[in-house]
Structure 1
Amino acid sequence: MKLGMVGLGRMGGNMTERLLNDGHEVVAFDPDSTAVASLADKGASSATSPADVVSQLEAPRTVWVMVPAGDITESTVNELVELLDEGDTLIDGGNSNYKESQRRAEHAALSGVDFLDSGTSGGVWGLANGYCLTVGGNRSAYDRNRPIFKTLAPDDSDGNLYVGPSGSGHYVKMIHNGIEYGMMQAYAEGFELLAAKEDFNLDLGAIAENWTRGSVIRSWLLDLTVDELEKDPRLDELSSYVEDSGEGRWTVDASVELAVPAPVITAALQMRFRSRQGDPLGGKMLAAMRNGFGGHAVKKASD
């Protein structure tokens, strides 16, 4: 099956390579010409623009967009909707807000273009291990493009799932990432508690590796933690500054909109905000209040 790939960042490039390895023909474009050239060396057809991608495909066309969420997704999708014809399929595999995906599907439908939103999980390991996909949109468009989804999925399972109407694929991925926030925070707190018991001098790497074998809390996240602790047993080379991709925020927004409590995910998101504050005002306020009502000693900034 021949398709176009627009966006050859780390994940988009790896997805393209996995498709090529399985015999798919791919027309690839990215503003970074070196990324295009690298995939051309592996068998992809080069394109110089989204329009060039579309011109090299035969109807019914399929174009997969793999760009960061935000303005770049909006402009890329709008451009491709204008270029594609009725019966073509446009897939957004990035981490777009599901509400934006619903709107884009409605816009694409005005031109007879099927818009599929694909939640995509797998990160840098996807090339070797495959990607977990959750796809929303027109079911017939999903079925028509299932060879693509099957190739991108892990070899030992389908690893892809049609979940429902437009927006549902990205909604499911949003919740997936919210759960990920909570799991990561729980591991982080647990290992910090292990390290804090200094008189035991616990080997964090050995404990993490032990927990990957038969423990109820074993997971791929824990496997990755083992790898990181092998390289840096106390993570001394890292800062505790942690970014968030936006999907944790959207998950918390959804919990408020739906009146469904999500305290663990919410707290995990708030901890990421706190990680970026070197000397937060909130902490100073707590110290000031304790001093004010109880005369408790405070630590001055100059101490």
Structure 2
Amino acid sequence: MAVVVTDGVLPLDLGIPAQVFIAVPGRAYELTLCGRSAGPVATAAGFTMTVTSGLEAVRCAHTVVVPGYAPHRQEVPAAVLDALAGAHAEGRRLVSICTGAFALAAAGVLDGRRATTHWLYADELAARYPAVSVDPRVLYVDEGQVLTSAGVAAGIDLCLHLVRRDLGARTANQVARTLVSAPHRDGGQAQYIRRPLPADAGGTTLAPTRAWALDRLHEPLTVPRLAAHAHMAPRTFARHFVAETGTTPLRWLLAARLDRARELLESTCLGIDQVAERCGLGTPSNLRLHFRRALKTTPTAYRAAFAAVPGERPGDQRG
């Protein structure tokens, strides 16, 4: 994994991938900090840091990470853009944190793709690069070979997502615990954009209802039932839920159930039918449907790749 350190790099954006990936058990990732050339690079905080490699590290890496930098309007050196474009053409995985998306966009990597960046700069990214479909609402976007994250701390969400994608939910959750971080945050950037709350918000938080729901994913959960727990009318509940999390109650429930299914597939010998029942998706066919839509794979293939439980697994083993 090569982390491209540009002039004006944001120290926290740089520290996030380093901290997340070195926390993975078994040294699954090998990080190299690189720049236009080996040597000192000025950070946005006023101090310099030393990178150990030039851009040749990009050509050797499976994954290339571009942290944010300031000012975000600065011109990225042509050598860096060429390296990023070349890595993309060779099938490398490219990742940006915060304003690092501007470098990927300048290299042409984001053309025709959906992407995100810090909500403060999303409109500018969309205006400067009209070929990019910018989504300012989300914490990160996974386009397969190219992934982008929103501002600063959203880089943690994206890096944990990469660990989850590469090594499974169990390892990602273990890393999150080590970092004292949420394995998967609710919603998107919508909860951080400055805007007025509904007039009747009254400082209410729906976190207790979300925690209550996570303990009952195997049960039928409807918006009216969630609203009743929160002592709200369903419409009022749905409005507050979106305002607080950036997503709808049903989309949040589906994501939570898929996360539960992944953990069960990794850590138990339960059959596919039992996993579907315990995570609240009901039937094996429904579990397969949502796995294919969200993860582009099947429960059986996911288990084969990430399960930590050896031996024969009972139950339905069809994909």
Same fold (TM over 0.5): no
* TM-score, with structure 2 as normaliser: 0.34
Of Structure 1 and Structure 2, the greater helix share is in 1
